[in-house]
């Protein structure tokens, strides 16, 4: 076995960080090669996710100056998850192990050493887990942690405080390739692959340049996407709620009949209004959830490609 390491980095409008990121990653990879832990033909692969700035040009220049850098250009912007998947699926036949990470290097690259060590000791999937979020703003921290809790309570089991910084062996990637779903939520799917896994802790830093490409709105839709593409628990909850409302309505029926025969019927306008609104709200909510899943079925039946690759700049050793 050769222990060829490939780093996969999705990039969306990252012209400000790429020069620095590429230099730091190259240094890291070279040091690992020197220590003999990874093969000399290891690679750093940037996936350009339809950036509107000079990102792809920079990646091309990097590849021309040094073959350690590879580039994948997507035909248009498909979002972080699809870009990452495109990268993983493209390199899986070239690499023995792949580490995915963000372009802004908020995830400490020194954790790579430990990930590789775990791989060498026979682990297939190594999750990078943030030991603290001291550098994140309060808002980002609260929303991000709320996000994990919401996901888990809704049946989408993910590793707490693990984003997409992880090492996967080739056979784990082959396992991932078997998941044919279009609405792919990597963080939830990867634990389903199985195989020996472990965790590496690291401190999450600040973005050293540029701004976040994950504003609150995107994060929220990411959470909804994650929950509805991984589990059907929301439907269960709705069913349970419907059952509960039905029980309450039986109670109400008995209660109003008793009141009627006692001759104490007062036309309760308030009760009526309240129940009309409550039931109306429940129906709307249920329709919304059901609609969400129907939307998913619709998209899955179309079996659209998850990404289309325009170009793959790469040189095998
Ligand atoms: N990204 C991407 N496509 C997008 C949005 C983001 O490939 O549509 C990449 C981005 O370039 C970065 C990673 O996803 O490498 C994470 O984005 P960011 O650092 O902005 O998110 P945050 O750390 O703020 O959650
Ligand atoms: Mg970031």
Beta strands in the chain (DSSP E): 5-11, 43-48, 69-74, 97-100, 125-132, 162-169, 197-203, 309-313
Candidate of 20, 46, 148, 214 to mutate for ligand 1, largest count of ligand atoms within 8 Å of Cβ: 214
Candidate of 102, 141, 218 to mutate for ligand 1, largest count of ligand atoms within 8 Å of Cβ: 102
**pLDDT score of 269:** 66
pLDDT along the chain (317 residues), means of 10: 91 94 95 94 96 95 95 93 94 95 92 95 94 75 81 80 92 89 82 90 83 80 80 78 81 80 71 76 81 80 74 80
Ligand nearest to the Cα of 212, by number: 1
User: Pocket around ligand 1: residues whose beta carbon is below 6 Å from it?
Assistant: 10-12, 14, 49, 77, 79-80, 83, 102-104, 106, 212-214
Atom 8 of ligand 1, residue of closest alpha carbon: 79
Ligand 2 centre distance from Cα of residue 104 (Å): 5
**pLDDT score of 42:** 95
Is 21:68 a contact under the CB 8 Å cutoff? no
Ligand nearest to the Cα of 17, by number: 1
Neighbours of ion ligand 2 (CB under 5 A): 102, 104, 106
Q: What's the predicted TM-score (pTM) here?
A: 0.79
Which residues have CB under 8 Å from 209's CB, separation 6+? Answer: 16, 17, 20, 104
Ligand 2 centre distance from Cα of residue 239 (Å): 38
What SS3 class is residue 135?
coil
Q: What's the maximum distance between 2 C-alpha atoms anywhere in the chain?
A: 92
**pLDDT score of 49:** 95
Atom 14 of ligand 1, residue of closest alpha carbon: 80
**pLDDT score of 92:** 93
**pLDDT score of 293:** 85
Ligand nearest to the Cα of 9, by number: 1
What atom of ligand 1 comes closest to residue 84's alpha carbon?
7
């Amino acid at each position: 076995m050769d222990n060829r390491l490939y780093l996969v980095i999705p990039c969306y409008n990252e012209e400000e960080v790429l020069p620095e990121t590429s230099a730091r990653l190259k240094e890291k990879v070279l040091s690992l090669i020197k220590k003999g832990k990874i093969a000399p033909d290891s690679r750093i692969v940037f996936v350009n996710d339809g950036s509107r700035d000079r990102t792809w040009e920079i990646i091309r220049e990097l590849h021309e100056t040094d073959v350690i850098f590879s580039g994948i250009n997507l035909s248009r912007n498909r979002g972080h998850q699809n870009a990452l998947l495109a990268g993983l699926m493209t390199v899986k036949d070239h690499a023995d192990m792949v580490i995915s990470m963000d372009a802004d290097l908020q995830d400490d690259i020194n954790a790579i050493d430990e990930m590789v060590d775990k791989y060498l000791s026979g682990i297939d999937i190594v999750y990078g887990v943030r030991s603290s979020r001291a550098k994140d703003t309060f808002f980002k921290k609260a929303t991000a942690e709320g996000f994990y809790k919401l996901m888990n309570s809704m049946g989408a089991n993910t590793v707490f405080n693990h984003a997409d910084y992880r090492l996967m062996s080739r056979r784990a990637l082959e396992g991932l390739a078997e998941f044919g779903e279009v609405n792919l939520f990597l963080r939830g799917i990867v634990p389903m692959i199985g195989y020996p896994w472990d965790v590496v802790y690291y401190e999450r830093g600040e973005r050293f340049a540029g701004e976040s490409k994950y504003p609150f709105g995107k994060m929220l839709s990411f959470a909804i996407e994650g929950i509805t593409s991984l589990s059907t628990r929301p439907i269960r909850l709705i069913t349970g709620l419907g059952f509960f409302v039905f029980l309450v309505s039986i109670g109400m029926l008995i209660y109003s009949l008793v009141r009627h025969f006692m001759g104490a019927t007062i036309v309760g306008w308030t009760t009526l209004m309240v129940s009309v609104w409550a039931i109306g709200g429940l129906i709307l909510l249920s329709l919304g959830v059901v609609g969400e899943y129907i939307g998913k079925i619709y998209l899955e039946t179309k079996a659209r490609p998850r990404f289309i690759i325009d170009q793959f700049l790469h040189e095998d050793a």
